Amino acid sequence: MTLGTRLLTWLRGELVGTDSYGNRYYRERGSRPVRRGGGRASREKRWVIYDGEPEGSKVPPEWHAWLHHTVDELPRADRPRYPWEKPHQPNMTGTVHAYSPPGSIRRGGHRARATGDYEPWIPE
């Protein structure tokens, strides 16, 4: 976190929640929701303080929607989950948990031999 974010959080921040990754979500204390109609709209400031390395993909979708003013309601941990929903997973690129397809150098560089439907091109 930068010095400016630390000061803003300390002086004017209101903690509104945390997620399963330990990220903390804030809004500006005393701010009002968007003013609709005539005049210039004034949005409340919302921000996240990451637990560990600042990586945007660590923000779950429900908190992402709140941060970007897509929804005004705070995410609830007890909301009903659909059977097809998978748990949020941050981007694993560059970690030991990154996906490596068969034949990848990270998996030894060997893959199963091609079956009979494969015919290599041989130049004449």
More confident residue, 31 or 107: 107
The model scores a pTM over 0.75:
no
Closest by CA position to 70, among listed 43, 106, 100, 103: 43
pLDDT at position 35: 55
> For the chain, first and last CA: distance in Å?
62
Nearest to 15 by CA among 4, 3, 29, 5: 29
Predicted confidence at residue 108, as pLDDT, reads: 81
pLDDT band (50, 70, 90) for residue 32 = low
Does residue 84 or residue 95 have the better pLDDT? 84
CB-count exposure of residue 12 (10 Å: 0-12, 13-18, 19+): middle
